[in-house]
Structure 1
Amino acid sequence: MARFPDNEIISLVGKAPRFDLAESVGPSVRLAELLDMAFGDDADFSLDYGTAAGSPGLRQEIANEHGVDADDVVVTVGGAHALFLIAFTLCQAGDEAVVAEPVFPLARNALAAVGATTRALPLSFDTGYRIDLDALRKLLSPKTKVLSLASPQNPSGVAIPAQTLREIVAMLAEHAPKAWLVIDETYREAAYGDDAAVPSAAGLGDRVISVSSLSKCHGSAGLRIGWAITRDAALRQALVTAKFSTVISCSPVDEALALAVFRQRGRIIGERRKLLAQNLQLTQNWVSRHASHIEWVRPDAGALCCMRLRRELFDAAAVERFYAALARYSTRVAPGPWFGDDPLVFRLGFGLPTLTQLAIALECVSVALMDAARAGT
């Protein structure tokens, strides 16, 4: 009966522990920050249907930030909705889709739910979650309809270099000419401090689709606003029709608030980049102090990273003790198996609102590490 497989990642939208290091977002924007800009003194905001493609003003703001035209943008109910519409539109039963894994499970599930055969492109902690182009080439065929990547990746926060993306576009043209490159860029603008965000991949070619949302970099997950960008007019229209056939339109209230977010994006993103830089440095220092128990892959962007328990200290029983200890301290990280990764790996989110909160949360993880390892000695 179930079209979508169960995954414990759904717990992230349930009751949260005191310290939720399983999340990958920074502090959320407060509604009061947006109301005046979104509605002003006009209390007579009309609750009509929105447009199927998304409000023209919002699409223009999105286009401005991605170097494309407003007509290239389709606004969706969050990034996950965009991924589903793309899978539903492009894939039929028997088609093949290549998915880089570990992966945010909804990206893979959307493809599987429409009957596509998914083939995993493995990304390894040991190689820093970098894409092996030779391994990718072997997975491609004329039956490949979608190559699904994320940059920066979820759960690792590792970005795909621009040169690698260009090589992938050329590889698809040669080995899988019917394939579309889908790139989830949800964390792209969550750079650290004064670091520049990398350019969007939306302009890499006519068969490239960029997906993103307001959930991560803009601290506005509750608005449920995402988008897909494609320069192919026929695909864009197909996505608009699919959106209309599933949800008709986004909420005009959400779209108005999203427009207010974009118009304050300099402040909103700037504050979060400063916080992320501070929190990343604290996290890096914490990893250095616990190098005998843990190792990590430093992320390129986003409030997330992958850490791995040392194999010599943590067998399966010790891993279970580690998570049990975290629960006793009302602290949570995201286990690697949620994303198809090694059980020794976990995703740690360092986007807590203050350094003090993050420091306390990391100390809870420290105690859990020691408790779990000590019990096995």
Structure 2
Amino acid sequence: MNELTTFDLPTHIAYSQSITANITINLSHSCAQAMSLADLVQLSPVDFTNINLEYASLRGSEELRLAICRYYQQYSQSVLSKSNSLSPDDVVTFCGGQEALAAIYQTVLKPGDEIVVFTPCYPSLISMAEQMGCSVNIVELNQANAWQFSIDEVESLMSAKTKLLVLNSPHNPTGGVIDTNLSKQLLALAIKYQCYLIADEVAQASNYYQLPLTNDYLSYDKAISVGVMSKSLGLAGVRIGWVVSKNQAWLSQLIAVKATGSICISAIDQALAICALMHSNEIIDNNNRLILKNIDLVKHFINEYNHLFEWVEPKAGMLALVKYLGSEGVEVLSANMANNYGVLILPSKLFGLSGNFFRLGLGQNNLSTGLGALKDYCTDFKPT
């Protein structure tokens, strides 16, 4: 009898699931602040009780895809000429960003291919490629360089065998960004080696410092942008992500892969996403104000406890890495915070980074309570 193929949970999910304590605060939350269904539907005059609960279209409704185009063109860092502007035909929707990424990998990669990924990162960006028999070449970001990298580091890992270059800006979990000049160099590398380029832009609207981060990725026919409702908009319960590309032949292949999985998004989620995207300015502005407020809270906290914590302030997005300087190490800190204070802290090793770092979420309205619990830990356990 053949043995069943085994699959492992993503490392950060497995870690969270292993905790038996009652977690009331997630200090590593990766999304902006969620809103209630009642608050969301108040933004729209649509009567949601009249939604026809049939299958949505394979791509997503034209109304939704048009709303995504408008959102993308307002908040994305991509520069598109008027003659090459986005249309609904350039968008395919999925049940969240993870399904979108999995479908991209399935259409682009085959065993023996090589990909380039930056670490730390969302774990599945590496594990999906490894499960497909691909080699993963890693650009290791480090705190000493403020989580930035050089173009030479990237090119040293690329060759004729490189099939995919995976970019993420604003970056999860460091809060680093790819500026306009660097994006041009990265695009030139993708073109030089004729590899696909994923621009993971799920936190694209969380550019609260209004930095110049424009790119021209979508001028390249092998470039793919990924977006989602969960991150900048904070609507993780609306399970919709999307892919944007100007390559219609490739999008047809992507749709074929989707048809073997979820087939379509939920009609309810589709209606809620349209509502949110139509009012994205209000939602994003509120979320970004909260992130900026939370950044100030963390600055004051680290100034007060600078013998135990340090960080590189994020440039965009709602995540940052904090280094813990206590002698017991971040894993002991994490266990004690969960078991004694009901606070979840995810060590950076779960995202491919060794050392005493943890991921800090900046998008939630209970951050001050979580920092208060960290202060209690410092008082109660007296780490040195």
TM-score by length of 1: 0.90
1:305 alignment partner in structure 2: 320
Matched residue of 2:269: which SS? helix
Alpha-carbon deviation of 1:79? 0.8
Among 146, 154, 163, which residue is 2:181 paired with?
A: 163
Alpha-carbon deviation of 1:248? 1.0
2:303 alignment partner in structure 1: 288
5+ residue gaps, structure 1, are none
1:81 alignment partner in structure 2: 99
2:10 is the alignment partner of 1:2:
no
2:286 alignment partner in structure 1: 271
Q: Distance in 1 between matches of 2:48 and 2:345?
A: 43
2:199 is the alignment partner of 1:183:
yes
Cα contact 2:180–2:212 (8 A) shared by 1:
no
RMSD: 2.3
Alpha-carbon deviation of 1:322? 1.7
Among 218, 240, 249, which residue is 1:225 paired with?
A: 240
Cα contact 1:202–1:229 (8 A) shared by 2:
no
2:152 is the alignment partner of 1:143:
no
TM-score by length of 2: 0.88
Q: Distance in 2 between matches of 1:318 and 1:345?
A: 9
How far does the alpha carbon of each residue in 1:39-75 deviate from its partner, in whole angstroms, 9 at most, with x for none? 7346332111111111111111111232322211111
2:353 is the alignment partner of 1:347:
no
Paired residues for 1:96-245 under 5 Å:
96-174=114-192, 176-177=193-194, 179-192=195-208, 195=210, 198-199=213-214, 202-245=217-260
Distance 1:359 1:6, change over 3 A: closer
Alpha-carbon deviation of 1:325? 2.6
Cα contact 2:29–2:364 (8 A) shared by 1:
no
Among 325, 337, 341, which residue is 2:336 paired with?
A: 325
| Amino acid in the other structure paired with 1:291 | N
Among 355, 377, 382, which residue is 1:368 paired with?
A: 377
Alpha-carbon deviation of 1:372? 5.5
How far does the alpha carbon of each residue in 1:20-52 deviate from its partner, in whole angstroms, 9 at most, with x for none? 101122221211133366673463321111111
Distance 1:300 1:70, change over 3 A: same
Matched residue of 1:164: which SS? helix
Q: Distance in 2 between matches of 1:319 and 1:265?
A: 37
| Amino acid in the other structure paired with 2:346 | A
Cα contact 2:179–2:213 (8 A) shared by 1:
no
2:57 is the alignment partner of 1:51:
yes
Q: Distance in 2 between matches of 1:259 and 1:222?
A: 14
Distance 1:45 1:181, change over 3 A: same
Distance 1:165 1:42, change over 3 A: closer
2:263 alignment partner in structure 1: 248
Cα contact 1:319–1:344 (8 A) shared by 2:
yes
Distance 1:247 1:318, change over 3 A: closer
Cα contact 1:91–1:145 (8 A) shared by 2:
yes
How far does the alpha carbon of each residue in 1:215-241 deviate from its partner, in whole angstroms, 9 at most, with x for none? 011111011100111111111111111
Matched residue of 2:237: which SS? helix
Q: Distance in 1 between matches of 2:285 and 2:184?
A: 29
Cα contact 2:184–2:216 (8 A) shared by 1:
no
How far does the alpha carbon of each residue in 1:178-209 deviate from its partner, in whole angstroms, 9 at most, with x for none? x11101111111133x7368446553522211
Equivalent residue pairs, number? 365
2:41 is the alignment partner of 1:35:
yes
| Amino acid in the other structure paired with 1:365 | L
Among 84, 93, 111, which residue is 2:111 paired with?
A: 93
2:83 alignment partner in structure 1: none
Q: Distance in 1 between matches of 2:141 and 2:216?
A: 20
Q: Distance in 1 between matches of 2:16 and 2:277?
A: 26
Q: Distance in 2 between matches of 1:321 and 1:37?
A: 44
Q: Distance in 2 between matches of 1:185 and 1:19?
A: 26
How far does the alpha carbon of each residue in 1:151-175 deviate from its partner, in whole angstroms, 9 at most, with x for none? 011111111112101101112222x
Cα contact 1:17–1:330 (8 A) shared by 2:
yes
Cα contact 1:3–1:113 (8 A) shared by 2:
no
Matched residue of 2:271: which SS? helix
Q: Distance in 1 between matches of 2:212 and 2:206?
A: 7
Cα contact 2:225–2:245 (8 A) shared by 1:
yes
Matched residue of 2:253: which SS? helix
Q: Distance in 2 between matches of 1:323 and 1:12?
A: 11
Q: Distance in 2 between matches of 1:264 and 1:250?
A: 21
Cα contact 2:176–2:316 (8 A) shared by 1:
yes
Distance 1:105 1:6, change over 3 A: closer
Distance 1:247 1:38, change over 3 A: farther
| Amino acid in the other structure paired with 1:183 | A
Q: Distance in 2 between matches of 1:277 and 1:149?
A: 24
Q: Distance in 1 between matches of 2:215 and 2:94?
A: 18
5+ residue gaps, structure 2, are 74-85
